[in-house]
């Protein structure tokens, strides 16, 4: 028996059938019928945002902390264009989102109608796929397909543009089980011959390394478990990209820290000096590789990735394995065990000695101070005071983000939400709200910089409205810290437009939003301030006044290979020259 209903009702019905409990959105003329249906039900909570970009980042935070797709509802025209930054962010970081946008009625499309925009045209390059639904009969099927596309293979954002007349018209609703299985079915199992070849290499390798990325986390908690089993059973050192933090625990025996431009010295040197590199769900991003021509010159490289286009895109690999990380690791472990669990123990011992030598450089060293709060110190104290708690961390983008990645430690996947690929300032505050919606009882902290935080600060209103006790930990240096650092290194200390003039009083701002704020500038008061922030039962803004000119180290200057890291300010003179200066 088919059920006849309006397109707007179908949207709600389909979301319910897909197990959606939360939608982030903002109403407008072209989505009024859907909002009317939302009003008449109680299964789906709608979070009213203050700006559509915030809605998409909230959905990203929700998705990354739960593993479920995030859902966004926006109106046509400006509603949809405001979502573009979030869509691009989700595409770059492979976050599953389903964005529903209203559109002017079909008979007005193409007439430059009020709040009309070519939404599918604008979002085509920033979604994994998108649809304009012109017929109510196809609406429910399209929504179910959209969830399938967003969550299978390499996850990503999808968008469904729904004209207003399609929302009003009636037709038969189709449930997820009534539609034909979608044709889009990415390969999940890896090629066993290639996996066996990789096992052979693992058995013999003298200096192996596991280079893990966000793909491990996207593959689900099972994949992280298998990664831990593999690393712990073989004793191979593990490093991770910014996106993959937590897949292997920071407290784990084989953890050697994050790699990349602001990664740890030992991790980058190990990448440079290894003889077998096993890339598990990472994509050789330019923040990781540094100078391509000198990237890990002596290693055999294996690459496990569900997206065939990631293979050989940047770095040529010797053993490509296309498949889901979880499936491939399961097969890999099975084969390795069946062949007798062999590793090159003697060589591995020496390899670890070498890594310990690099570790002794203590690359995260910074000069402490009694009078002013160093940003690194602030994060060390935040870590000390929140360690072991049920904690989720989001960040904005810049120096604070890198320091957070260096000084906060994650023992579980899905606990760390940061804008990696796109580097979207303004990501962290809304993302923290999305995380808190999914985990109302947990401690959710957004580590922010003053400049980034202002970019989406309107969402504090959302946090207050929905009583979401998100903690905004602002490292305030009154600068665009990373821009300032690059201007110091690259542009002769001419600090063009990189300071934050006329900053608001964050305490008064918190009060204006109806939450609480505090400021701290003496290192002695820092612990109490952090504790106050944690203990406060509601959203809280902690304005931490930090050293204004601190630089983020260690650092691989652009255009340089892994083994030419800068460890401190003394080494920065003329560090970036020639071709490197043109890179970002």
Residues that bind another protein (CB under 8 A): 120-121, 124-125, 128-129, 132, 149, 154, 183-184, 191, 193-194, 197, 201, 204-207, 275-276, 298-300, 307-309, 311-313, 316, 318-320
Catalytic entry in 5, 13, 18, 52: 52
Cα–Cα distance, 9 to 173 (Å, whole number): 9
Catalytic-residue membership of 472: no
Contact 148, 182 (CB under 8 A): yes
Judged by beta carbon, residue 124 or residue 387, the one nearer another protein is 124
Catalytic-residue membership of 114: yes
Contact 233, 533 (CB under 8 A): no
Contacts of 55 (CB under 8 A, 6+ apart): 24, 25, 26, 47, 49, 72, 73, 74, 83, 86, 430
Contact 304, 278 (CB under 8 A): yes
Catalytic-residue membership of 52: yes
Judged by beta carbon, residue 215 or residue 398, the one nearer another protein is 215
Secondary structure of residue 114 in the 3-state scheme: coil
Kindly state the smallest distance separating residue 206's Cβ from another protein, in Å: 6
Catalytic-residue membership of 532: no
Kindly state the smallest distance separating residue 81's Cβ from another protein, in Å: 17
Secondary structure of residue 100 in the 3-state scheme: strand
Judged by beta carbon, residue 275 or residue 330, the one nearer another protein is 275
Kindly state the smallest distance separating residue 426's Cβ from another protein, in Å: 24
E-assigned strands of 424-573?
443-449, 471-476, 516-520, 540-545
Pairing of strands 208-212, 170-173: unpaired
Q: Biggest alpha carbon distance in the chain?
A: 75
Residue with tokens 């018209």: 169
Kindly state the smallest distance separating residue 427's Cβ from another protein, in Å: 23
Q: What's the half-sphere exposure (Cβ side, CA atoms, 13 Å) at 128?
A: 26
Kindly state the smallest distance separating residue 99's Cβ from another protein, in Å: 15
Judged by beta carbon, residue 234 or residue 418, the one nearer another protein is 234
Judged by beta carbon, residue 180 or residue 537, the one nearer another protein is 180
Kindly state the smallest distance separating residue 312's Cβ from another protein, in Å: 6
Judged by beta carbon, residue 58 or residue 306, the one nearer another protein is 306
Contacts of 260 (CB under 8 A, 6+ apart): 241, 242, 268, 285, 287, 288, 556
446: which strand partners? 394, 472
Catalytic entry in 68, 145, 164, 301: 164
Cα–Cα distance, 553 to 478 (Å, whole number): 19
Kindly state the smallest distance separating residue 130's Cβ from another protein, in Å: 8
Angular region, 87: left φ>0, alpha ψ -120 to 50, beta rest: alpha
- Which residue in 252, 203, 237 sits closest to 353, CA to CA? 237
Kindly state the smallest distance separating residue 230's Cβ from another protein, in Å: 19
Judged by beta carbon, residue 23 or residue 120, the one nearer another protein is 120
Alpha helices by DSSP H, 184-260: 192-204, 214-218, 221-234
Catalytic entry in 92, 425, 482, 555: 482
Judged by beta carbon, residue 305 or residue 396, the one nearer another protein is 305
CA distances from 208 to 204, 263, 271, 289, 345 (A): 9, 18, 9, 17, 11
Catalytic entry in 107, 114, 185, 524: 114
- Which residue in 237, 279, 242 sits closest to 262, CA to CA? 242
Sign for the CA dihedral angle at 421, 125, 128, 28 comes to positive
Contact 302, 274 (CB under 8 A): no
Kindly state the smallest distance separating residue 329's Cβ from another protein, in Å: 18
Kindly state the smallest distance separating residue 516's Cβ from another protein, in Å: 46
The per-residue b/e assignment along 499-520, b for 16 or more CB within 10 angstroms, e otherwise, is: ebeeeeebeebbeebebbbbbb
Contact 435, 417 (CB under 8 A): yes
Kindly state the smallest distance separating residue 157's Cβ from another protein, in Å: 12
Per the omega criterion (within 30 degrees of 0), is the bond before 14 cis? no
Judged by beta carbon, residue 197 or residue 548, the one nearer another protein is 197
Indicate the Cα dihedral angle 413, 417, 423, 425, nearest 10°.
-170
Residue with tokens 């859907």: 34
Catalytic entry in 115, 204, 225, 519: 115
Judged by beta carbon, residue 142 or residue 239, the one nearer another protein is 142
Judged by beta carbon, residue 308 or residue 568, the one nearer another protein is 308
Pairing of strands 3-6, 170-173: antiparallel
Q: What's the half-sphere exposure (Cβ side, CA atoms, 13 Å) at 508?
A: 3
Q: What's the half-sphere exposure (Cβ side, CA atoms, 13 Å) at 176?
A: 14
Catalytic residue numbers, as ranges: 52, 114-115, 164, 482
């Amino acid at each position: 028996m088919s059920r006849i209903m309006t397109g707007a009702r179908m949207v709600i019905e389909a979301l319910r059938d897909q197990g959606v409990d939360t939608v982030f959105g903002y109403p407008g003329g072209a989505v009024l019928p859907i909002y009317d249906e939302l009003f008449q039900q109680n299964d789906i909570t709608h979070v009213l945002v203050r700006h559509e970009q915030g809605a998409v980042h909230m959905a990203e935070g929700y998705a990354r902390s739960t593993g479920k797709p995030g859902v966004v509802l926006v109106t046509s025209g400006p509603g949809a264009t405001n979502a573009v930054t979030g869509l691009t962010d989700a595409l770059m970081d492979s976050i599953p989102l389903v964005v529903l946008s209203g559109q002017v009625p079909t008979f007005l499309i193409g007439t430059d109608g009020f709040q009309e925009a070519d939404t599918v045209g604008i979002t085509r390059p920033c979604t994994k796929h998108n649809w304009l639904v012109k017929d109510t009969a196809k609406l429910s099927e399209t929504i179910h397909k959209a969830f399938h596309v967003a969550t299978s293979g390499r996850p990503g954002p999808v968008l469904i543009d729904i004209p207003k007349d399609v929302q009003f018209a009636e037709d038969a609703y189709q449930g997820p089980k009534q539609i034909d299985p979608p044709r889009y079915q990415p390969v999940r199992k890896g090629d066993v011959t290639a996996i066996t070849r990789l096992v052979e290499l693992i058995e013999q390798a003298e200096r192996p390394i596991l280079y893990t990325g966000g793909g491990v986390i996207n593959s689900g908690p099972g994949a992280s478990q298998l990664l831990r089993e593999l690393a712990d059973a073989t004793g191979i050192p593990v490093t991770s990209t910014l996106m993959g933090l937590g897949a292997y625990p920071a407290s784990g025996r084989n953890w050697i820290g994050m790699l990349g431009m602001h990664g740890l010295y030992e991790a980058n040197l190990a990448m440079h000096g290894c003889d077998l590199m096993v890339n598990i769900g990472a994509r050789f991003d330019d923040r990781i590789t540094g100078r391509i021509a000198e990237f890990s010159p002596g290693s055999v490289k294996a690459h496990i990735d569900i997206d065939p286009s990631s293979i050989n895109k940047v770095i040529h690999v010797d053993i490509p394995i296309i498949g889901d990380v979880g499936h491939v690791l399961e097969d890999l472990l099975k084969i390795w065990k069946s062949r007798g669990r062999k590793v090159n123990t003697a060589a591995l011992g020496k390899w670890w000695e070498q890594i310990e030598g690099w570790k002794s450089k203590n690359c995260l060293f910074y000069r402490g101070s009694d009078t002013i709060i160093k940003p690194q110190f602030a994060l060390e104290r935040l870590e000390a005071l929140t360690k072991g708690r049920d904690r989720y961390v989001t960040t904005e983008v810049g120096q604070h983000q890198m320091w957070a990645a260096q000084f906060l430690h994650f023992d579980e996947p899905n606990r760390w939400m940061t804008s990696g690929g796109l580097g979207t300032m303004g990501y962290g505050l809304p993302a923290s709200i999305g995380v808190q919606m999914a985990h109302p009882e947990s401690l959710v902290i957004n580590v922010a910089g003053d400049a980034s935080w202002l970019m989406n600060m309107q969402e504090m209103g959302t946090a207050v409205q929905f009583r979401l006790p998100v903690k905004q930990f602002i490292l305030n240096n009154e600068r665009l810290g990373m821009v300032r650092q690059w201007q110091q290194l690259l542009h002769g200390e001419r600090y063009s437009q990189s300071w934050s003039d006329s900053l608001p009083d964050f305490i008064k701002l918190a009060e204006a939003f109806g939450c609480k704020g505090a400021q701290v500038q003496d290192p002695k008061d820092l612990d109490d301030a952090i504790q106050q922030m944690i203990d406060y039962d509601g959203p809280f803004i902690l304005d931490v006044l930090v050293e204004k000119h601190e630089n983020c180290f260690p650092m691989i200057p652009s255009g340089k290979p892994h083994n030419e890291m800068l460890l401190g300010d003394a080494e920065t003179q003329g560090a970036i020259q020639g071709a490197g200066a043109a890179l970002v």
